[in-house]
Homo-oligomer: A and B are copies of this chain.
């Protein structure tokens, strides 16, 4: 049995006890969270979210590229969210390589150099500020009164705010 099949069995149990079939499409709490994809970062558990509460956007690093700006524009313009929470974390994989090294390794193997930035970074707090600044500079995200950035500490479970 693959891991996917194992997780599908879990999903079957989730459906059996499901009682949230009538939640509305817009997030109840009016918040969009943008976080790293890291396995140790359980956004629902950490922030105490329940089904229906918040949009959750995630990628390698929790960085802000065109696709996150697209998602945030849709979140605010079509579904009414008004606050943004950014979460990076300690011991992040993005701290372990460089864009150049990663892309050269891929080119050496495949013969093609990726046409995207890998978005590696060397300083967690600086990259949180970078992400906040990218959102602030975006012309398509309308509401920027509450864009706050944090570092989640995978060692302690704590969330530390980064002033940006």
Instruction: Mark A residues whose CB is within 8 Å of B.
Output: 2-4, 6-8, 10-15, 18, 20-23, 25-32, 37-60, 65-71, 73-75, 77-79, 83, 85, 91, 93-94, 96-97, 102, 105-106, 110, 112, 114-119, 139-140, 146, 148, 154-159, 161
Contacts and interface: CB of A to CB of B under 8 A. Distances in A.
Contacts of A43: 44, 56
A82 B113 CA distance: 22
Given A15-B157, A21-B154, A30 B48 contact: no
B114 A96 contact: no
Contacts of A37: 32, 55-57, 71, 75
A51 to B, nearest CB: 5
Contacts of A66: 65-67, 115-116
Given A58-B56, A70-B60, A157-B15, A30 B3 contact: yes
Number of copies of this protein chain within its complex: 2
A49 B85 contact: no
11 contacts: A4-B85, A7-B49, A14-B157, A21-B154, A21-B155, A23-B39, A25-B40, A39-B54, A43-B56, A57-B59, A70-B118
A88 to B, nearest CB: 14
B55 A57 contact: no
Given A44-B42, A67-B116, A77-B106, A4 B56 contact: no
A26 B93 CA distance: 9
A121 to B, nearest CB: 13
A154 B23 contact: yes
